[in-house]
Structure 1
C-alpha cells in the first residue's frame, strides 16, 4: 500500500505538524513532502490531515496509522542498526538500556571505567521503564538491559548482579534517623511517598511492610526512585528507594535506613536467551560485575544487622 519512504514522510509531518518542518527533518524540499502526502491520500481515498491555520492536524485515521507504523519502524531501525554493525567491528558498538534507578546510579560509572580503556568504542545508552527495557532487548534495539526486580518473560535471560534492598529515605534530622532499621510500626502516622501500584519497586516492598493501612498515608505516588528522593528531600514524606539509589554519591540530601524485615530487590542484567554474547558485550558485563557501585550495595547491607533495632 505505502512505501517505507512514504510512511517516513507521513510520520515526520505528524511530528512536525507542517510540511516545512518535515522537509527540514528529512532534508528534502517542501513540495516533495506535500506531493508525497497527496499521493498517499489519493491511494487510500481519504484525507490524512486537516489544516488549522499554519498547522497540519492529523485526522483520527492518521493517528491510528501513525500508531500502527511504530512497530514497523522499530523493526526497521533494529534491522538498519544490525546492517551498520556488519560494516565495522562488532567490538566497536554497545547498546545498553536501563531503568532510571540504574541509569542514575550504576550505568554511567560502569561505562566511565569501561570506555576509559576503549576510546574507540561507541555506546548507545537509553533509559526506559522495565517493560520498555525488556522490549528493547527482545527487539534487538539493545544488547543489554539492566533493571530492578524485573518480571519473568519467555525468551529473555536474567542474571542477578547484586541483591540490593529497599530503604526508607528522609531529610537529615528526621526522627527516623535514630533507628537502625525501620519497621511498619515506625511508619505509622507519617506521610509517605509511594510508587504506582504493580511497578517493579512497588512489588519489591511486601505487604507485611507496606500494609493497607500504611498505603492510606500516601501523599503522592511516583514512577521513579529519583522522584521519590526529590519528594523526600523536599520534606513531603518518607520515600522508599533501592539501596543503590540511596548510596550513589552525595546526589540527594537524605538519610537512609533499611526496612525490617529486609526487603531484597535484585539488580538484574537482561539478555536474549540462548544467544551468545558479542565480545564487547561479554567484556562489559564482566567488568560490570566488579563495579564499585555494586560493591557499595554489599557494603551498605553489611553495615545493617538483619535483626530489628
Structure 2
C-alpha cells in the first residue's frame, strides 16, 4: 500500500489539534479539503480514524496507534531535512577548515588567496590548532576538512597524503655552522637545542635521529609551536630542527635555514569525516594546497 503524504499530513495535524478547521489553517487549505483528505485516507487504509462528537473529533484506538507510526516517520523526515540543510549549506558556499598552526599561518593564506579568485562566493572558516586537535575536530564533524600531521594508527577519518616536506635545521646567522650547506647530527653534539614539544611526531623523529648518532643532546627549551623557537634562534639562543614552513617564513640575516640529514619527513595529510564526501570547492582547495606544497618543496 502506498499512502498519500498529503493525507498523512492532514491526519497528523487533525490528531494533534482535534480540529479539521485548525488543521486546515496549518496546511493552508479549507476545512472541507481536510475532511476529504481524512475520508480518502480512511478508505485507503481500511479503518476509521476519528469519531465525530459534539465536542469535536476523537481519535479511535487504531488512529492513536497509527499516529505513533506517523510520528516516527516524521522524525525521520526531520532528520532528512537537517541532512539536506547541511548539504545545502556546504554546496551553497562555506568551507570549514581546521589546520595545524604552521600550515594555517605560513601555507594557507596564499592558498586562500588563490582559491578566492576562482571561488569568490565561498566563505572560508579557518581554525588553527595543534595536529591532535585538528584530528578531533574533523572526526567530530565540526569541520569539513583538516590539514595536519596524523599518526598512522588513526581511524575514523578519511585521509589523503600531500607532498612531503623535509624538516630543516635553523641556526643563528652568526653561528659557525651557518657556513655549512648540510647539517648532520654529529654537528649538533653539545649544542643548545630548541625543540618542538615531545608529543609531536616531528619531535619524536628528530630526537630519534639525534639519539641514533650517539651525541650529547643538550635540549634547553621545548615549545608547543615553531614560531617562538624561530624567534629565539634568531636571538642566538640555540639551534633547532623543525618543519620548514615556519622556518622559511622567519629566514633572514639573523636566522639561516639549512638542510638536515638524515632526512626527516614532515607528512601533512588532508583528513575529512568518513561518510561525508568533500564538496567540489573543498576538492578544488585541496588541489591548490597540493600544488603549493609541491612548488614549496622545489
Q: After TM superposition, is the score higher than 0.5?
A: yes
Q: Which runs of 4+ in 1 moved over 4 A?
A: 81-89, 210-216, 249-253
Match of 1:107 in 2: 108
Match of 2:283 in 1: 282
Q: For residues 100-134 of structure 1, give each alpha carbon's deviation from its aligned partner in whole angstroms, at most 9, with x where no partner exists.
A: 11112111110111012322211110011111100
1:158-173 equivalences in 2 (<5 Å)? 158-173=159-174
Aligned pairs, number: 217
Match of 1:35 in 2: none
Decide whether the 8 Å contact of 1:167 with 1:243 is kept in 2.
Answer: yes
CA distance in 1 between counterparts of 2:270 and 2:180 reads 33
CA distance in 1 between counterparts of 2:253 and 2:200 reads 23
Greater helix proportion = 2
TM-score between both structures, scaled by the size of structure 1: 0.63
Match of 1:135 in 2: 136
TM-score between both structures, scaled by the size of structure 2: 0.65
Decide whether the 8 Å contact of 1:231 with 1:239 is kept in 2.
Answer: no
Find the residue that maps to 1:289 and give its secondary structure: helix
Match of 1:208 in 2: 209
1:221-232 equivalences in 2 (<5 Å)? 221-232=222-233
Worse overlay, 165-174 or 209-218: 209-218
Q: Structure 1 residues 147 and 219, CA, compared in 2 at 3 Å: closer, same or farther?
A: same
- Unpaired runs of at least 5, structure 1: 1-80, 300-309
Worse overlay, 168-177 or 241-250: 241-250
CA distance in 1 between counterparts of 2:197 and 2:264 reads 18
Decide whether the 8 Å contact of 2:103 with 2:147 is kept in 1.
Answer: yes
Match of 1:295 in 2: 295
CA distance in 2 between counterparts of 1:251 and 1:132 reads 31
Q: Structure 1 residues 168 and 210, CA, compared in 2 at 3 Å: closer, same or farther?
A: farther
Match of 1:176 in 2: 177
Find the residue that maps to 1:247 and give its secondary structure: helix
